[in-house]
Chain A
Amino acid sequence: MRLTTGLLAMAAGVLLTLMTLTNAVLAQHTGAVFASWAAHGIGAVVALLLLLVTPRTATPEGRTPLWYYLGGIPGALVVVLSAIAVNSELALSGTIALMLTGQVIFGAVSDHLGLLDTPRRPITGTDLAVAGCVLSGAVLIVLGGA
């Protein structure tokens, strides 16, 4: 079960690569912010279609806090800020390497403290070793050039 979920997470990573690849073509023609705006618009339509054709999920009891709906704001902010960072001395590879590092650091702190209403999760030694290997490998890949 956990293995399947893990493989699904890696498949999400593949989707992210395909998205980055196509969005980069659009951004070359139009600029980073417009490219992301267009991708969000098309993504909204596609997500809505997917929602309509998939079985409805029952909403659990209780109210859904308003901020649960606002995950798109930090996500969209990333596009704007990374456009600035990419144009600095960090360049694309430096920016990506630091963004990956920031994600893993956030994940560790969030799991440990249970940030943003998430359940606390103990981080095991194995978890940290996996994170260390994958992150350093990813940074080597990003900085190592094609």
Chain B
Amino acid sequence: MLFFVVLALSNGLLIGVSRTINGRLSTRRGAFAASVWNHVVGLAFLSVVLLVMRVWPDVTRVPVAAYAGGVFGALFVAVNSYVFPRLGAMSAAVLVIAGQVLSAVVIDCVRQAALPSPLRLAGVALVLAGLCLPLLRK
């Protein structure tokens, strides 16, 4: 169990490393170039992983819309690489997480046509309170 906890935590660390490096590249080559390099290098790396694993799934029944993730990903890396050097690693991570979880709650609400659980609502309140803290200090 501890192994998986460390693994998942290290994954968060790797995300930070990846976004920091892309942010560095964006300061020299621009945010869109950083997104291109991130995707090309990641594609090459995953191609090796797929070749080693020798798995090739049946893709004939996959809905085309399921491939739209790549479009969002390309935009995400560009925007994130732009904001990362400007906000710093911690604030950028915190704000991205806030946008991520708040939009996830809204999307779940719409898709399930139901209000979030009380625990989730408490979470939303905490996230919003955190985001308002710097505004109060001014």
Chain A residues engaging chain B, CB cutoff 8 angstroms: 2, 5-6, 8-23, 25-26, 29-31, 33-48, 50-51, 54, 56-57, 59-60, 64, 67-82, 84-85, 88-90, 94-95, 98-108, 110-111, 115-118, 121, 123, 126-127, 129-146
Contact = CB atoms under 8 A, between A and B. Distances in A.
Give the interface size bracket for B toward A.
Answer: 35 or more
A79 B123 contact: no
A98 B42 contact: no
**B interface majority secondary structure:** helix
A118 B114 CA distance: 44
5 contacts: A9-B99, A46-B70, A47-B77, A71-B37, A118-B24
Given A72-B41, A138-B97, A50 B18 contact: no
Contact of B87 (A9, A31, A76, A77): A9
B11 A146 contact: no
B123 A137 contact: yes
Given A13-B100, A104-B97, A111-B88, A46 B43 contact: no
A86 B86 CA distance: 33
A12 B97 contact: no
Contacts of B32: 47, 50-51, 54
Interface string B2-37: 001101111111111111111111011110111111
Nearest to B42: A72
A81 B11 contact: yes
Contacts of A99: 8-9, 11-12, 15
B18 A57 contact: no
A126 B137 contact: yes
A102 B96 contact: no
Nearest to A13: B99
